[in-house]
Structure 1
Amino acid sequence: MPFRGLLGHIEGGFALPRFIVSACGQSIAPRVNRGARRGVMVCDGSMNAQTLERPVLDEPQLSAANRCDACGARAWVRATMPSGGQLYFCGHHANEHLPSLVGGGAQILDERHFMND
């Protein structure tokens, strides 16, 4: 199940979730142990900062050669399926299909913010 959350910074530069929101919008509090290391919040679950942080990309990863699988227009969104396959979508078809792709566990690269650059 995909998650998104706000990260809180703690000692040593690590970041742990303050709260987690599931794909269906339900808020889930992470399991933490606040006394393990001098009162520092320690995550006891399998999620960590590496699974929650996304790289900051200043340059587009998709090019004009990437085309929408539905209509052939320039692709602005890439969905990588759990099986490893990739689907490309224009802005219109991304809006139409993203909810079901995210629900199916796809990783999404959304570069629609580069459209007007």
Structure 2
Amino acid sequence: MGRFAALLRGIAPSGANMTNDRLRSVFEGLGLEDVASVLSSGNIVFRTDTTDAFELEQRIEDALALELGLSSRTLVRPHSELRALVDSDPFPGVRHDSRTYLTATFIRTPRPRTSSRTW
């Protein structure tokens, strides 16, 4: 059984109409296991036998729309991919503290490269 993270856009689980409990219930209703909220980020971690991230994204987006009236884009990434990203130290020498704010942005489909420049 694989571990995954669902990165949800436009979710505010601390809002009056949204709670982490309601959000988790959508994922549990899809048959996903060990569903947990990641603080108040609107992101969810879970386990499933399904390995197709695109299929999971579609199922989650459809369920959020149907059950909560949310039209949120969802990115699903396997735990192994996220662990590898963290372990790669993408911000060498920079540590998270009160003077820094480290972020990573995920996109659903990589854009084709138009030059040899890397960002």
Please confirm whether the aligned pair reaches a TM-score higher than 0.5, indicating the same fold.
no
Higher relative contact order (CA 8 A, sep 6+): 2
Structure 1 or 2: larger strand share?
A: 1
Looking at CA atoms only, which structure, 1 or 2, has the larger radius of gyration?
1
TM-score tier after normalising by the smaller chain length = under 0.3
Structure 1 or 2: larger helix share?
A: 2
TM-score (norm 2): 0.27
TM-score (norm 1): 0.27
